[in-house]
Structure 1
Amino acid sequence: MTKKLNVAVVGATGAVGSKMMEKLVERNFPIETIKFLASARSAGKTIEFNGTQYKIEEATPESFEGVDVALFSAGGSVSEVLAPEAAKRGAIVIDNTSHFRMDPEVPLVVPEVNRHVLKTIPKGIIANPNCSTIQMVAALQPIREKFGLTKIIVSTYQAVSGSGIAAIEELREQSAQWEAGKNVEANVLPVKSDVKHYPIARNVIPQIDKFTDNGFTYEEMKMINETKKIMEAPGMKVAATCVRVPVVSGHSESVYIEVEQETTVQEIFEVLKAAPGITLQDDITQQLYPMPIFAENEEATFVGRIRQDLDNKKGFHLWIVSDNLLKGAALNSIQIAEALLEDNIL
């Protein structure tokens, strides 16, 4: 008989939190009790889960008494304060924010890639990686295991849902404003910009998060640093350019890799066909390749447009697409919890 757990969801009313709830039900996660926690502003409201109405409670340190696993997706400032409090009270925290990701004592986990690091959780906190990092390493790890991997260069085409509900609403509003011939208002993207905002409808914005001193954005540095940590490869050569595009859900990535031993496109096909969580969509005769409209609400990471580089026999180009709210966030968090159960850690 599967052990049932006492679960807390922090930030259930957000875009990722609502997907977490869906996946807990769809995957029949073994729940004894569940509570939904949020800020004082949302406390007292009701939320439906698996056909039952629950009252949202204000998240406080005491909220985590008796909780086995706490799923956090309410922003880094909330996780900074409450995740250690939850862990102190015996809960294992799975945090979807960036706050703990690069902490050397916090495992940063994509189960298909580095599940083994869950054996040691010093702070009682596990970090869920950045959405664009998750889908990329999930697709590249099977290739790396078979042929080795020395270099990754990625350009992302990231959906507005990665910036939250406000960005989704602004895309819709701006699209309507364009169609009506009205002035287009921009108040959301780039998120965290302290300079100006730009329309996302009929546009692409080559900035996600603020710029660092080296000219890369924080989003780009997350992909670079998180990839090295997850793959346990500090010497891996990784570069990223992250771009916001006018798509509601589903991040796309153009990825160039260099492998250690020579191989062929067909051999990479075979590796990816056998890889967990990966769906190969690559038939140029039928114009079959991954697109966000295929990936939306799907758990898989889709890979296609695989080509050998024309100048480097060890270089390959791939196109990777996944639903950023699912594998890129909510689903990966649930899969971490499932792995903890299966490995008798919870």
Structure 2
Amino acid sequence: MGYRVVVVGATGNVGREMLNILAERQFPLDEVAAVASARSQGDIIDFGDSGRELKVSNLEHFDFSGWDMALFAIGSEGSKLHVPRAAAAGCTVIDNSSLYRMDPDVPLIVPEVNPEALAGYKAKNIIANPNCSTAQMVVALKPLHDAAGIKRVVVSTYQSVSGAGKKGMDELFSQSRNIFVGDPSEPEFFPKQIAFNVIPHIDSFLDDGSTKEEWKMVVETKKILDSRIKVTATCVRVPVFVGHSESVNVEFEREISAKEAQDILRESPGVMLVDKREAGGYVTPVEAVGDYATFVSRVREDPTVENGLNLWVVSDNLRKGAALNAVQIAELLGRKHLQKG
């Protein structure tokens, strides 16, 4: 016996990936609904490569009663309106927005890292999906934290434009084309030119000079992994369509060698270690696209601090950073809490 699942925001980048992954992983479904805003009502979209098509329903009028789970991918403003409505109807919500992540009554889940925290979902019938950059980093850090205890993390991100949605991808494409043919390429969506450039600014600025994206990485890592870990982040948008990369410097409480870290990561859930010390012996965003794994490369000791390591971490942000993590939460929820039959 399967589940009745709603994908909200089904016509967006992440929503489409959610449908693809539900189909790929053969999630036990009795019924699946594609839901989006009024402008997409009646559109026909594919349910992955299953050959099945879904007709898009209007979120404003959708009745969540009788549905088991809803995977939301519509941003904080839409979630604020509709997540409580779905949860109150008895449909467990897995929300991809930032709205509920730091709510103490809402578990923030990465299944490979803190599956035990899922038990708290009944307080509000809502589960939060973390920020894309946080998700891939904690998958890589969790097994190392268990082995040697992490004290401090310094991370610089190289985040693809798909993290900003379709408008970000469109702007990179159009600017790149315009520059090649000599047409004007003024920024419209991003604050500066993104083609052939990098922008050290994601989300809004806070009073201390950091951005909200950087703040998210700090507070979410603490909530998911360990509140005692000190985290500092610099988040940068780069001219890559899909796939986030991170340069991560980690200080540990206990000694851990690069070799030990490699051996641990090689056996860790959700991690793929690709670390050959030769040209091309590492993973870049292009190779990560379409894959489920969080890739770790360039594992090496940092001689400037006691018990320090450097890592290079890459993942498909539309998958592990968003859609895949949400589906993995749904799988965990089904196995542990909503068993049928």
Decide which moves more: 178-187 or 39-48: 39-48
Residue of structure 1 equivalent to 2:26: 28
CA distance in structure 2 between the aligned counterparts of 1:40 and 1:247, rounded to whole angstroms: 31
CA displacement 1:148-207 (0-9 Å, x = unmatched): 111001000000000001111111111111100121121111xxxxxxx21100100000
Q: How far off is 1:224 after superposition?
A: 0.4
Whether the 8 Å contact between 1:298 and 1:326 is mirrored in structure 2 is yes
CA distance in structure 2 between the aligned counterparts of 1:340 and 1:55, rounded to whole angstroms: 26
Q: Quick one: which amino acid aligns to residue 205 of structure 2?
A: F
Q: How far off is 1:234 after superposition?
A: 2.2
The reply on whether 1:253 has 2:251 as its aligned counterpart is: no
| TM-score normalised by the chain length of structure 1 | 0.95
Q: How far off is 1:40 after superposition?
A: 1.5
SS of structure 2 residue aligned to 1:84 = helix
Write out aligned runs for 1:246-285 (5 A): 246-285=239-278
CA distance in structure 2 between the aligned counterparts of 1:40 and 1:311, rounded to whole angstroms: 56
Residue of structure 1 equivalent to 2:199: 205
CA distance in structure 2 between the aligned counterparts of 1:113 and 1:54, rounded to whole angstroms: 33
Percent of counterpart pairs with the same letter?
48
Q: How far off is 1:301 after superposition?
A: 0.3
Residue of structure 2 equivalent to 1:125: 126
Q: How far off is 1:256 after superposition?
A: 0.5
CA distance in structure 2 between the aligned counterparts of 1:10 and 1:254, rounded to whole angstroms: 33
Residue of structure 1 equivalent to 2:108: 108
CA distance in structure 1 between the aligned counterparts of 2:300 and 2:39, rounded to whole angstroms: 51
CA distance in structure 2 between the aligned counterparts of 1:12 and 1:62, rounded to whole angstroms: 13
Write out aligned runs for 1:10-159 (5 A): 10-49=8-47, 50-60=50-60, 62-121=62-121, 122-159=123-160
CA distance in structure 2 between the aligned counterparts of 1:273 and 1:85, rounded to whole angstroms: 43
Q: Quick one: which amino acid aligns to residue 112 of structure 2?
A: E
Whether the 8 Å contact between 2:38 and 2:60 is mirrored in structure 1 is no
SS of structure 1 residue aligned to 2:118 = helix
Q: Quick one: which amino acid aligns to residue 123 of structure 1?
A: K
Q: How far off is 1:286 after superposition?
A: 4.7
Q: Residues 62 and 37 from structure 1, CA distance in 2 versus in 1: closer, same or farther, beyond 3 angstroms?
A: closer
Q: How far off is 1:61 after superposition?
A: 6.5
**Could you list the runs of 5+ residues in structure 2 that have no partner in the other structure?**
none
Residue of structure 2 equivalent to 1:321: 314
Residue of structure 2 equivalent to 1:161: 162
CA distance in structure 1 between the aligned counterparts of 2:285 and 2:128, rounded to whole angstroms: 25
Q: Quick one: which amino acid aligns to residue 169 of structure 1?
A: D
SS of structure 1 residue aligned to 2:208 = coil
Match of 2:329 among 332, 336, 341: 336
- Cα root mean square deviation, aligned: 1.1
CA displacement 1:79-132 (0-9 Å, x = unmatched): 111111111111110000111101000000000000001112110000000000
CA distance in structure 2 between the aligned counterparts of 1:61 and 1:238, rounded to whole angstroms: 42
Q: Quick one: which amino acid aligns to residue 260 of structure 1?
A: E
CA distance in structure 2 between the aligned counterparts of 1:120 and 1:61, rounded to whole angstroms: 29
Decide which moves more: 119-128 or 286-295: 286-295
The reply on whether 1:295 has 2:288 as its aligned counterpart is: yes
Q: How far off is 1:285 after superposition?
A: 2.9
**Structure 1 segments of 4 or more deviating over 4 A?**
none
SS of structure 2 residue aligned to 1:60 = helix
Q: How far off is 1:78 after superposition?
A: 1.1
Decide which moves more: 56-65 or 121-130: 56-65
SS of structure 1 residue aligned to 2:150 = coil
CA distance in structure 1 between the aligned counterparts of 2:35 and 2:334, rounded to whole angstroms: 23
